[in-house]
Amino acid sequence: MFWPDTISKKLGVKYPVIQAPMFGVSTSQMVTAAAKADCLGSLALADLSADQSIELIRETRKLTDKPFAANIFVHSIPEITAELKTKFVKAKQFIEQLALENHIEVSLPDLEAIQLHTYHEQIDAIIAEKCRILSFTFGNLDDTSIQKLKENGLTLIGTCTSVEEALALERSGIDMICVQGIEAGGHRGSFDADDIPKIGGLSLLSQVYDHVNVPLIYAGGIYNAKTVQAIKDLGAQGFQVGNLLLASKESALLPFEKERLKKVREDEIILTKSFSGRYARGVKNKYIEVLENSEYILPYPYQNKLTNQLRKVAKSLQNSDFLGLWVGQSIHKYSELSTEEILRNLIIQTEVK
């Protein structure tokens, strides 16, 4: 049999193929469709409140009784200083004016109106809802949370973008590590929001494999049987797929966004901090060209919260120049089939290879 079974047995699925969380793109329906393909769906809870997290978990449970992973952000929140307050006002004014010049009327929130949630309030909710798998990104869980989660029987999956981060996760007792390559679409899982390792994914996977003993899942650039085979040869026992599912039937992307994906060129895919204050890989547009490397980018998550309404309005106007369209480096046809069909096709092609 082609597929390693260490991870699939632990997670309770037939295939060690994982639908990437992709907050803002994935849906409860996508999680369910991944489960129908005998893979592991990932429910993106990001930095939502405890109540919002519970609502999404229950909504998903109504659709499937199969295992799925809850996925959260474990970033630290920078202190609000006088300097941050001043910078926030300037960024707000600049972005609102830029939007207006491009025929988008939007009122962005003041700093005082922004609501921030730490992952700690999600932990109790996830335990109370009897989730069995928790994956996380942007850092590591604190020791108290790890102990509490393990006492309640959860399997923990951390995300690394360097060997150092992988070692830190293993020392903390994390059960599995998702190695995120630089090729992956969307936000980097790096512990440090300002400094991302530039190492290629396959090189990173090989090195992490040599340094840790826990099972490894790989994310970044998987889009066909050849990429799955190469990743398995380098030691991965699990395969996380995101970019392949962006245009799927269950994706939250609108038709105009899916069409933009199908026209994307290699030289248009870049890493940017302009929308969120944390590096993310996506499609270059007018907003990114103006904001990138400017003084109007706040630390994460403040920039992310500031620009959220702009992205919503741009989406409603079908204006792809002012929204974040996250995408990986592996360009393909961006199938609009169901997530279930896309994953089953990948599995069949891989087994035939």
> Which CATH superfamily does the domain covering 1-77+116-251+333-353 fall into?
Aldolase class I (3.20.20.70)
CA distance linking residue 183 with residue 269, whole number of Å? 10
Summarize pLDDT for 188-205 with one digit per residue, the tens.
999 999 888 889 999 999
Name 177's bridge partners: 158, 216
For the chain, what are the domain ranges?
1-77+116-251+333-353, 80-115+265-326
**Cβ contact 25:324 at 8 Å:** no
Three-state DSSP class for residue 13: coil
Q: If DSSP codes are grouped into helix, strand and coil, which group holds residue 311?
A: helix
Cis peptide preceding 301, ω within 30 of 0: yes
Are the CB atoms for 63 and 32 separated by under 8 Å?
yes
Q: What are the CA-CA distances from residue 228 to residues 23, 176, 246 (Å)?
A: 23, 18, 18
Give the span between the Cα atoms of 83 and 137, in whole angstroms.
Answer: 28
Sequence-distant (≥ 6) Cβ neighbours of residue 268 within 8 angstroms: 283, 284
Distance CA 186, CA 197 (A): 15
Mean of the pLDDT values across residues 9-28? 98
User: Global pTM?
Assistant: 0.97
pLDDT tens by residue, 86-106: 999 999 999 999 999 999 999
Instruction: Identify the band that residue 353 occupies on the pLDDT scale cut at 50, 70 and 90.
Output: low
Task: Name residues whose C-beta falls within 8 Å of residue 63's C-beta, 6 or more positions apart in sequence.
Answer: 28, 29, 31, 32
Q: Which residues pair with 136 in a beta bridge?
A: 72
Helices marked H in 181-316? 201-211, 225-233, 255-262, 286-291, 302-316
pLDDT tens-digit map of 129-185: 999 999 999 999 999 999 999 999 999 999 999 999 999 999 999 999 999 999 999
DSSP code for 173? T
**Distance (Å, whole) CA 201 – CA 171:** 22
Q: Is the dihedral of CA 314, 318, 321, 326 positive or negative?
A: positive
Structure tokens at 55: 């609502």
Residue 143: both structure tokens together:
């020791």
> Residues 301-340: pLDDT tens digits?
999 999 999 999 999 999 999 999 999 999 999 999 999 9
- Residue 190 has a pLDDT of 96
- What are the C-alpha distances in Å from 31 to residues 60, 167, 173? 8, 29, 27
Query: What single string gives the DSSP state of each residue in 316-337?
Result: HTT-GGGS--B--S-------S
Element (DSSP H or E) covering residue 179: strand 176-180
* Rounded CA separation 16/10 (Å): 10
Return the structure tokens found at 182: 């630089």
SS3 (DSSP) at 102: coil
